[in-house]
A and B are shown apart, each in its own frame.
Chain A
Amino acid sequence: MGFEGELPLHHSSFLSSEGGELGKELSDELDLSFLPDELSVQDAPPQTGGSAEQQDSGFTGEGVSVEDMSGAEHNQASPFCPMTPMTPMTPMTPASESSGIVPQLQNIVSTVNLVCRLDLKSIALQARNAEYNPKRFAAVIMRIREPRTTALIFSSGKMVCTGAKSEEQSRLAARKYARVVQKLGFPAKFLDFKIQNMVGSCDVKFPIRLEGLVLTHQQFSSYEPELFPGLIYRMVKPRIVLLIFVSGKVVLTGAKERSEIYEAFENIYPILKGFKKV
């Protein structure tokens, strides 16, 4: 499975869904080239600016970043990069067989700095799909339909983007929000985009004896049926928290990189197999 399958690759549907959304603001093509990737950190995916000008922006931007990301992953030697089927699948531990199950990403939380003070009231009044309740929370909550995400936009110019299913979608969504803010008249930039948290889930397809697991892995596990029905496993390397349920479903969270999720699952799978029920 390639994650490109999840992204809308059809130009017309992509743009029309976009066009319907923000009303008067997006009558023209969605051109994200104006927003160069200003990054204070050196080792970052390259600019999407150049290639975007030639074609419809979103895709080539993603295309470029995808290949670069797979290039970066070569260094990590992660055997599970479903993005590029061309990458040779070298197993990390030849002694044990791989599980064959790949965790699916369910949520990505990222932050970006727009580098300008914002007037939240004017944003809330002008933008569609924006809610602002200063007594309840000091940020504008904006939502877009494609990719389906929610953003918290603060008056300092910092923004949190949640709900995307992949790193590229999160970046794309953040750019769209920045575009919206820019169209409302603020000199928005796109500085320091960083993914803060990634959540993945998968199913090992067999029931698990949580009581056994908590006995042997006491220093990492916490299983209190009175508090939560799942076992909370805090893996040390990589530093990931896994919620393991009796049904065999596993939720992995706390990752900054996709590879951490995969690595954590590969680490836990043989342990879980040892505690299969019956």
Chain B
Amino acid sequence: GDRVIDVGSEWRTFSNDKAAKDPSRVGDAQNPLLNGGDLSTVISRGTGSASFDEFGNSKYQNHRTMSSSDRAMLNAFKEITNMSDRINLPTNIIDRTNNLFKQVYEQKSLKGRSNDAIASACLYIACRQEGVPRTFKEICAVSRISKKEIGRCFKLILKALETSVDLITTGDFMSRFCSNLGLPKQVQMGATYIARKAVELDLVPGRSPISVAAAAIYMASQASAEKKTQKEIGDTAGVADVTIRQSYRLIYPRAADLFPPDFKFDTPVDKLPQL
């Protein structure tokens, strides 16, 4: 008769068996979207005494050479995860970054560039695309690549993938900067309003939104009980304190118009510091 080889699993599993593990499943969870069908075998380092030979070296050495074609890509994914962990980015951003990197890597148009630079730029783009942009300086802080190189790769990747990103606004950074400075919600809302009004009234033409945001935070915090110095705000925002001073000087004359109507003043508008 016909011999049929049963390709089912070696052991029986019962549906009402409340075992935590599913023994019919072998291997780690695959990531087919990113790895391109990784079917290679990986031999991990041994743990028991039998896995070491007489000199103390591990007996089975071949823990290298797995999917060599995508080795660089896997390395980059590891680097992306490391960078994101440092600034506590959620999984959706990490996934998006990995996807962007995969697209760029497969296109090969930026092949000559350092993978870390491409990864950093992908991280920057992913944060932008998810609506929670990080400044270039924040990405620089977790990457070994210079801001200049990340900026260059950023522009090249946008060109290569034929995408674009939305322009950054002052409001994008308010919650993060204010939380880092330990400012209460009232001050944060005040600063957001001030920055938005300042841009609407075109008091700060040509100034980077980060600088305007920093100046707005300074004004709001100085008007409240939680006063922060320019240096502290500059350190958090990655802006020089002279830059904050410059933008502050531009918004100071119209300070009365910039505050939200329901703002609780600890220091009145006319007593705000004049730099």
Chain A contact residues, CB within 8 Å of chain B: 207, 211, 214-215, 218-219, 222-227, 229, 245-247, 277-278
Asked if B205 contacts A227 (CB within 8 A), the reply is no
Binds A, one of B47-55, B206-214, B217-225, B244-252: B206-214
Asked if B155 contacts A222 (CB within 8 A), the reply is yes
Q: Can you list 30 contacts pairing A with B, beta carbon distance less than 8 Å?
A: A207-B205, A211-B167, A215-B167, A219-B164, A222-B155, A222-B158, A223-B167, A224-B151, A224-B154, A224-B155, A225-B168, A225-B207, A225-B208, A225-B210, A226-B135, A226-B136, A226-B151, A226-B168, A226-B208, A226-B210, A227-B136, A227-B151, A229-B208, A245-B206, A246-B205, A247-B205, A247-B206, A277-B202, A277-B205, A278-B202
Asked if B206 contacts A246 (CB within 8 A), the reply is yes
Asked if A214 contacts B167 (CB within 8 A), the reply is yes
**A214: which B residues are within 8 A, CB to CB?**
167
**A223: which B residues are within 8 A, CB to CB?**
167
**A229: which B residues are within 8 A, CB to CB?**
206, 208
Known: A225-B209, A229-B208, A278-B202. 18 other contacts (CB 8 A): A214-B167, A218-B164, A219-B164, A222-B155, A224-B155, A225-B168, A225-B210, A226-B135, A226-B136, A226-B151, A226-B208, A226-B210, A227-B136, A227-B151, A229-B206, A246-B205, A277-B202, A277-B205
The 5 A-B residue pairs whose C-beta atoms are closest, nearest first, are A246-B206, A225-B208, A246-B205, A227-B151, A218-B164
Query: What are the interface flags for B134-145 relative to A under an 8 Å C-beta threshold, 1 for contact and 0 otherwise?
Result: 011000000000
CB proximity to A under 8 Å, residues B209-243: 209-210
Question: Which residue on chain B has the smallest CB distance to residue A225?
Answer: B208
Question: Which residue on chain B has the smallest CB distance to residue A228?
Answer: B151
Question: Which residue on chain A has the smallest CB distance to residue B163?
Answer: A218
**A227: which B residues are within 8 A, CB to CB?**
136, 151
Closest chain-B Cβ to A219's Cβ sits at a distance in Å of 8
**A219: which B residues are within 8 A, CB to CB?**
164
**B205: which A residues are within 8 A, CB to CB?**
207, 246-247, 277
**B154: which A residues are within 8 A, CB to CB?**
224
Chain B contact residues, CB within 8 Å of chain A: 135-136, 151, 154-155, 158, 164, 167-168, 202, 205-210
Closest chain-B Cβ to A220's Cβ sits at a distance in Å of 11
Question: Which residue on chain B has the smallest CB distance to residue A278?
Answer: B202
Closest chain-A Cβ to B110's Cβ sits at a distance in Å of 16
A219 to B167, CA, bound (A): 14
Question: Which residue on chain A has the smallest CB distance to residue B162?
Answer: A219
A139 to B23, CA, bound (A): 72
**B136: which A residues are within 8 A, CB to CB?**
226-227
**A246: which B residues are within 8 A, CB to CB?**
205-206
Closest chain-B Cβ to A228's Cβ sits at a distance in Å of 9
Closest chain-B Cβ to A162's Cβ sits at a distance in Å of 24
Closest chain-A Cβ to B15's Cβ sits at a distance in Å of 54
**A218: which B residues are within 8 A, CB to CB?**
164
Question: Which residue on chain A has the smallest CB distance to residue B207?
Answer: A225
**B208: which A residues are within 8 A, CB to CB?**
225-226, 229
**A225: which B residues are within 8 A, CB to CB?**
168, 207-210
A38 to B218, CA, bound (A): 66
**B207: which A residues are within 8 A, CB to CB?**
225
Question: Which residue on chain B has the smallest CB distance to residue A208?
Answer: B205
Question: Which residue on chain B has the smallest CB distance to residue A214?
Answer: B167
Question: Which residue on chain B has the smallest CB distance to residue A245?
Answer: B206
Closest chain-A Cβ to B263's Cβ sits at a distance in Å of 27
A78 to B14, CA, bound (A): 85
A245 to B151, CA, bound (A): 19
**B209: which A residues are within 8 A, CB to CB?**
225
Question: Which residue on chain B has the smallest CB distance to residue A230?
Answer: B206
**A226: which B residues are within 8 A, CB to CB?**
135-136, 151, 168, 208, 210
**A215: which B residues are within 8 A, CB to CB?**
167
A207 to B206, CA, bound (A): 10
**A245: which B residues are within 8 A, CB to CB?**
206
Question: Which residue on chain B has the smallest CB distance to residue A226?
Answer: B136
A215 to B207, CA, bound (A): 18
A29 to B84, CA, bound (A): 70
**A247: which B residues are within 8 A, CB to CB?**
205-206
Question: Which residue on chain A has the smallest CB distance to residue B151?
Answer: A227
A219 to B159, CA, bound (A): 9
A246 to B205, CA, bound (A): 7
A222 to B136, CA, bound (A): 16
**B158: which A residues are within 8 A, CB to CB?**
222
Question: Which residue on chain B has the smallest CB distance to residue A247?
Answer: B206
Closest chain-A Cβ to B202's Cβ sits at a distance in Å of 7
Question: Which residue on chain B has the smallest CB distance to residue A218?
Answer: B164
**A211: which B residues are within 8 A, CB to CB?**
167
A207 to B202, CA, bound (A): 11
